[in-house]
Amino acid sequence: MSPVSNLVFRFATVQGQAVQWLLKRNCSVTPAQLGWLYASLCAISLGIACVFWFFGAVLVMPFAWVELAAVGLAFLAYARHAADGERIWLKGRQLVVELEMGGHRSRAEFNRDWVRVEPGVGDRSLIELSGQGRRVNVGRYVRPELRPALAQEIRRALREA
């Protein structure tokens, strides 16, 4: 049995010889559900506006379109960041960090023996992973009071893997 599989983690999962931390935004509604909600909101709002249009209140329709455009933009901003997250995994001699923010993905790879894990200075600061001339900040989707525990867990996995 490998040393990695004997470790107990709070934030990570162990898959064979690899340790993976998947830190994601806590979203109550998926982008697909949000699309259906927006479509139903459009149908109801435009239906009501059509009734008012039919009875002679013609200014209701333009205001309904403006309202739906504003709500649509807000929903679009939410949906764009709903899948944001951080994926960190340790496999063999490599520590790989993938960050996804607003549809943009970045990736950094570190040699396990040369990685430094440093929690930031302030209470709300992120965890900095650095080594070989690269720096990556992680922990955005973990409560600030739990970040030191996450940093300690990553250090322990790097040391004992």
- Pair (64, 90) in one structural domain: no
Confidence of residue 1 (pLDDT cuts 50, 70, 90): very low
Per-residue pLDDT, averaged over 80-96, amounts to 92
- Pair (14, 53) in one structural domain: no
Distance of CA 32 to the CA centre of its chain: 16
Burial of residue 138 (number of CB atoms within 10 Å: 0-12, 13-18, 19+) = buried
pLDDT, position 9: 85
- Pair (72, 93) in one structural domain: no
Return the CATH number at 152.
Answer: 2.30.29
pLDDT, position 123: 67
Q: What is the pTM of this model?
A: 0.74
User: Cα-flanking dihedrals φ and ψ of residue 140, to 5°?
Assistant: -60, -30
Residue environment code for 14-49, b if the CB has 16+ CB neighbours within 10 A, otherwise e? beeebbbbebeeeeeeeeeebeeebeeebeebeeeb
Domain boundary pick from 40, 62, 81: 81
pLDDT, position 4: 56
The residue ranking higher by pLDDT, 103 or 98, is 98
pLDDT, position 105: 94
Per-residue pLDDT, averaged over 99-127, amounts to 88
- Pair (134, 94) in one structural domain: yes
The pLDDT tens digits of the residues spanning 52-84 come to 999 999 999 999 999 999 999 999 988 888 889
pLDDT, position 124: 73
- For 124, the domain range is 3-25+83-160
